[in-house]
């Protein structure tokens, strides 16, 4: 497995393998868990060459957020990437990506002013910018992103369409712990008590799934139900529990088509997000 710390070296590597077949890119911030590995394994199945980037992107963190303390373990990450059959890891420093005088940003409008965009101003601008740079540096045929970050996935799909980027975006289902908690590098912030409390997010989402399966179609009722469930957990402070139409994240008055049910909350030092996607057609709705 090749380890590249500079833009020039990953470009050289990709150039040397380009004619062998499709190149897959898995962008990450490292501190790998099974969710990251699921993306790498899917890329391994579909691509001749798999590139993983590890970069804790400073411009997607707000001033009071956890950029400095974000968990990092490069040795372990490289070991896991090697085991997953990754061909190259791109692991640049911040100055390689944002040299002195850096001034260009990518903004996806509208999709980013709700859900996480509301409480994290500038976050998706940072994400769209770094993903654009990674696409331009690696030039992948296919890029892999987790459905766990549902709004991020929609923002990237929209950016790729709007800017005619020649890359296919693949979304990978959320990988969970046995008790339902969505895997996240930030779960490491949780104390044992907070870790137990954190499962309330998934329990609330499951309750929505059950109500919808029984015929409930009112988003206001379902949102209220999630809020009540999450507010019963004193260690968890709800940020939002909302339901939107996919893919454009428009509000809806009755559940129909493709629907995103998304929650975010604080639990101790961790900000946790989770979601489920419901396809009303496949539930027998016309």
Question: Does the footprint of ligand AMP cover residue 91 (CB under 6 A)?
Answer: no
Question: Does the footprint of ligand AMP cover residue 120 (CB under 6 A)?
Answer: no
Pick the binder of ligand AMP from 35, 92, 117, 140 (CB under 6 A). 35
Pick the binder of ligand AMP from 17, 29, 252, 283 (CB under 6 A). 29
In the complex with ligand AMP, the residue whose CB is nearer, 130 or 222, is 130
CA distances (Å), 249 to each of 48, 79, 111, 224, 259, in order?
A: 34, 38, 6, 19, 9
In the complex with ligand AMP, the residue whose CB is nearer, 76 or 256, is 76
CB of 172 to ligand AMP, least distance (A): 5
CB of 182 to ligand AMP, least distance (A): 5
Radius of gyration of the chain (CA): 19
Return d(Cα 249, Cα 254) in angstroms, integer.
14
Return d(Cα 107, Cα 121) in angstroms, integer.
12
Pick the binder of ligand AMP from 182, 238, 249, 270 (CB under 6 A). 182
| The one segment of 10-18, 175-183, 214-222, 224-232 that binds ligand AMP by CB under 6 A | 175-183
| The one segment of 17-25, 29-37, 112-120, 220-228 that binds ligand AMP by CB under 6 A | 29-37
| Ranges assigned E (strand) in 98-182 | 142-146, 168-172
What are the structure tokens assigned to 5, written together? Answer: 């710390």
Pick the binder of ligand AMP from 90, 145, 189, 202 (CB under 6 A). 145
Shortest CA distance to 166 belongs to which of 142, 144, 137, 130? 142
Question: Does the footprint of ligand AMP cover residue 200 (CB under 6 A)?
Answer: no
CB of 198 to ligand AMP, least distance (A): 13
* Sequence-separated (6 or more) residues with CB below 8 Å from residue 102: none
Give the position of tokens 């604080």.
266
Sheet holding 236-245, edge to edge: 236-245, 258-267, 270-279
Cα-flanking dihedrals φ and ψ of residue 145, to 5°? -135, 150
| The one segment of 41-49, 98-106, 161-169, 178-186 that binds ligand AMP by CB under 6 A | 178-186
Question: Does the footprint of ligand AMP cover residue 92 (CB under 6 A)?
Answer: no
Pick the binder of ligand AMP from 36, 133, 158, 271 (CB under 6 A). 36
Shortest CA distance to 48 belongs to which of 82, 23, 85, 13? 23
Give the position of tokens 């999709």.
111
- Residue 33 a catalytic site member: no
Return d(Cα 43, Cα 113) in angstroms, integer.
31
Question: Does the footprint of ligand AMP cover residue 275 (CB under 6 A)?
Answer: no
Return d(Cα 13, Cα 4) in angstroms, integer.
9
Question: Does the footprint of ligand AMP cover residue 241 (CB under 6 A)?
Answer: no
Question: Does the footprint of ligand AMP cover residue 38 (CB under 6 A)?
Answer: yes
In the complex with ligand AMP, the residue whose CB is nearer, 167 or 222, is 167
Question: Does the footprint of ligand AMP cover residue 123 (CB under 6 A)?
Answer: no
State the catalytic residues: 36
List residues binding ligand AMP (CB under 6 A).
Answer: 28-29, 35-36, 38-39, 145-146, 148-149, 172, 174-175, 182-185
């Amino acid at each position: 497995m090749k380890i590249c710390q500079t833009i020039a070296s990953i470009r050289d590597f990709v150039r040397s393998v380009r004619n062998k077949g499709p190149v897959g890119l898995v962008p990450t911030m490292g501190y790998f868990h099974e969710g990251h590995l699921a993306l790498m394994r899917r890329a391994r199945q579909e691509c001749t060459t798999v590139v993983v980037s590890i970069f804790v992107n400073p411009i997607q963190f707000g001033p009071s957020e956890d950029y400095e303390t974000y968990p990092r373990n490069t040795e372990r990450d490289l070991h896991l990437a090697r085991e997953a059959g990754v061909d190259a890891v791109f692991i640049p420093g911040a100055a390689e990506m944002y040299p002195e005088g850096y001034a260009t940003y990518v903004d996806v409008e509208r999709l980013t002013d709700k859900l996480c965009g509301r409480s994290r101003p500038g976050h998706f601008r940072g994400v769209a910018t770094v993903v654009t740079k990674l696409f331009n540096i690696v030039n992948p045929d296919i890029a892999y992103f987790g459905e766990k970050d549902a709004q991020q996935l929609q923002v990237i799909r929209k950016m790729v369409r709007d800017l005619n980027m020649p890359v296919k975006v693949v979304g990978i289902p959320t990988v969970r712990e046995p008790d339902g908690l969505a895997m996240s590098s930030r779960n490491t912030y949780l104390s044992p008590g907070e870790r137990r409390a954190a499962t309330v997010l998934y329990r609330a989402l499951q309750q929505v799934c059950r109500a919808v399966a029984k015929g409930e179609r009112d988003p206001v009722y379902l949102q209220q139900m999630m809020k009540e469930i999450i507010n019963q957990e004193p260690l968890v402070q709800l940020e939002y529990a909302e339901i939107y139409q996919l893919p454009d994240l428009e509000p809806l008055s009755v559940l129909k088509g493709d629907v995103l049910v998304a929650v975010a909350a604080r639990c101790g030092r961790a900000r946790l997000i989770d979601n489920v996607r419901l396809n009303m057609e496949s539930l027998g709705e016309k």
